[in-house]
Amino acid sequence: MAIRLDDRAPDFEARFSAFLTTKREVSADVDAAVADIIADVRARGDAALHDWTEKLDRFATRTRGLRVSEAEIDAAVAAVKPEVMDALKLARDRIESHHARQKPRDDRYTDAIGVELGSLWTAIEAVGLYVPGGTASYPSSVLMNAVPAKVAGVDRLVMVVPTPGGEINPLVLAAARLAGVDEVYRVGGAQAVAALAYGTETIRPVAKIVGPGNAYVAAAKRRVFGAVGIDMIAGPSEVLVIADRDNDPDWLAADLIAQAEHDKAAQSILITDDAALADAVEKAVEHQLAALPRGAIAAESWRDYGAVILVESLDAAAPLSDRVAPEHLELAVADPEAMLARIRNAGAVFVGHHTPEAVGDYVGGSNHVLPTARSARFSSGLGVLDFMKRTSILKVPPAALRQIGPAAIALAEVEGLGGHARSVSIRLE
């Protein structure tokens, strides 16, 4: 059973605040081990990759090669059922056309006094994409990370994926092919992150590393940050559903469970003004959990972190949701647009009764890599801008320098930076 909160209760604010700060993830302290692995890869390159892969993934890249060949990818693509391949293509196309709209435009202009300014956007030259192995090896995640990189114009998109015991998910290779990934290596963990950041004989270094991973991968990304860019470190997933009385409890229960099945640390929250609906949804959750393949995981998530929040009026829902700043927010209410206008902090909003969050995970077109753990207060989902950078342009003609130069000199002088002042004044003499 999820916890139940009621905003009419006198202790609501205290309980809601405590709920907000609940930690859902115990991060294993793997930093020392990761530091050793990174140092080894930097020192020994490919040899270190072979050794760590043999030890941790029980696979001999020394004889089989680090790189996944085009022939292997061809074989993987051939092994995927046509209807699944079609679904991947639909997803790829929809992600591509949505993200194409995110491409920023260069801005170059001359201001009133003749100074030329500008912001020029360029793609990052080379990006590494980490893909987990085993059961968390999701083709949809490959598309969500790789397609925006290619839309941005990344020249060299390099995927790494561990292949424990030599096993690789053919769907992941098919997704890589569809998304335009340029190189694939069968290496994972901190050793793969180190190879991407610093390079080895076989793997040339990249400038940024994205993609999800376990505690070792996350720790390695934190360690190499600075040498390369990294994306956010994703925490367990969450959904918040705001629902009025006119809802099918089974639909809402299905959405809460879909989130909960990800991980026992996932979180599903329902906010409603209708106590009868709340009861019906809780009953439907229990009922559906019994029939679900991943029911045990979902049940644990719902029991430990799930919440049903009863509010006197749905007017209270948007401000409460903003404090949660959910990764996913579903608006299952009569006038979702009016409520959307009041929402400030959310990774993605799913509007109306026929937009379950899961459709956004695959084929909606928007990205499913979204800010978790309340970070939607200050960050955005993955997008094209994460694969580009902006260069400022400044061009001051002599007449304009005479106009604004003296102010620069005055400020440099009060800041005690005589060399700065001199570099301007020497051009005004």
Q: Residues within the annotated binding site?
A: 130, 191, 214, 237, 259, 262, 328, 361, 415, 420
Q: Binding site for substrate, residues? A: 237, 259, 262, 328, 361, 415, 420
Catalytic pick from 96, 261, 282, 327?
327
For 57, 169, 183, 264, the CA distances from 137, given in Å and listed in that order, are: 15, 7, 17, 18
Tell me the H-state helices in 4-81. Answer: 12-20, 31-44, 46-57, 61-64, 70-79
287 binds a second copy (CB under 8 A): no
Stretch that binds a second copy, among 34-42, 51-59, 306-314, 349-357 (CB under 8 A): 349-357
User: Quick check: 131 and 214 in contact, CB under 8 A?
Assistant: no
Q: Binding site for Zn(2+), residues? A: 259, 262, 361, 420
DSSP state string for 141-156: HHHHHHHHHHHHT-SE
338 binds a second copy (CB under 8 A): no
Which lies closer to a second copy via its Cβ, residue 66 or residue 228?
Answer: 228
Indicate if 328 belongs to the active site: yes
The Cα 314–Cα 329 span in angstroms is 15
As measured in angstroms, the least distance from the Cβ of 96 to a second copy is 12
As measured in angstroms, the least distance from the Cβ of 27 to a second copy is 10
Query: What residues from 407 to 426 belong to the interface with a second copy (CB under 8 A)?
Result: 407-408, 410-412, 414-424, 426
Query: What residues from 197 to 256 belong to the interface with a second copy (CB under 8 A)?
Result: 207-208, 226, 228-229, 233, 250-251, 254-255
Q: What share of the chain is helix, strand, coil (3-state, %, to 5)?
A: 50, 15, 35
Indicate if 99 belongs to the active site: no
Which lies closer to a second copy via its Cβ, residue 66 or residue 195?
Answer: 195
The Cα 124–Cα 144 span in angstroms is 17
List the structure tokens of 178. Answer: 């569809």
Which lies closer to a second copy via its Cβ, residue 275 or residue 404?
Answer: 404
How many CB atoms within 10 Å of residue 267? Answer: 30
The Cα 267–Cα 255 span in angstroms is 11
Burial of 337 (0-12, 13-18, 19+ CB in 10 A): exposed
Which lies closer to a second copy via its Cβ, residue 7 or residue 231?
Answer: 231
358 binds a second copy (CB under 8 A): yes
Binding-site member from 140, 180, 303, 319 for a second copy (CB under 8 A)? 140
List the structure tokens of 198. Answer: 């610093």
As measured in angstroms, the least distance from the Cβ of 59 to a second copy is 22
Burial of 79 (0-12, 13-18, 19+ CB in 10 A): exposed
Binding-site member from 150, 177, 186, 262 for a second copy (CB under 8 A)? 262
Binding-site member from 49, 129, 171, 197 for a second copy (CB under 8 A)? 171
Catalytic pick from 98, 99, 328, 368?
328
CA geometry: angle at 207 spanning 347 and 202, to 5°? Answer: 125
Binding-site member from 39, 75, 84, 100 for a second copy (CB under 8 A)? 84
The Cα 134–Cα 291 span in angstroms is 24
Binding-site member from 49, 298, 309, 324 for a second copy (CB under 8 A)? 298
361 binds a second copy (CB under 8 A): yes
377 binds a second copy (CB under 8 A): yes
Q: Which positions are catalytic? A: 327-328
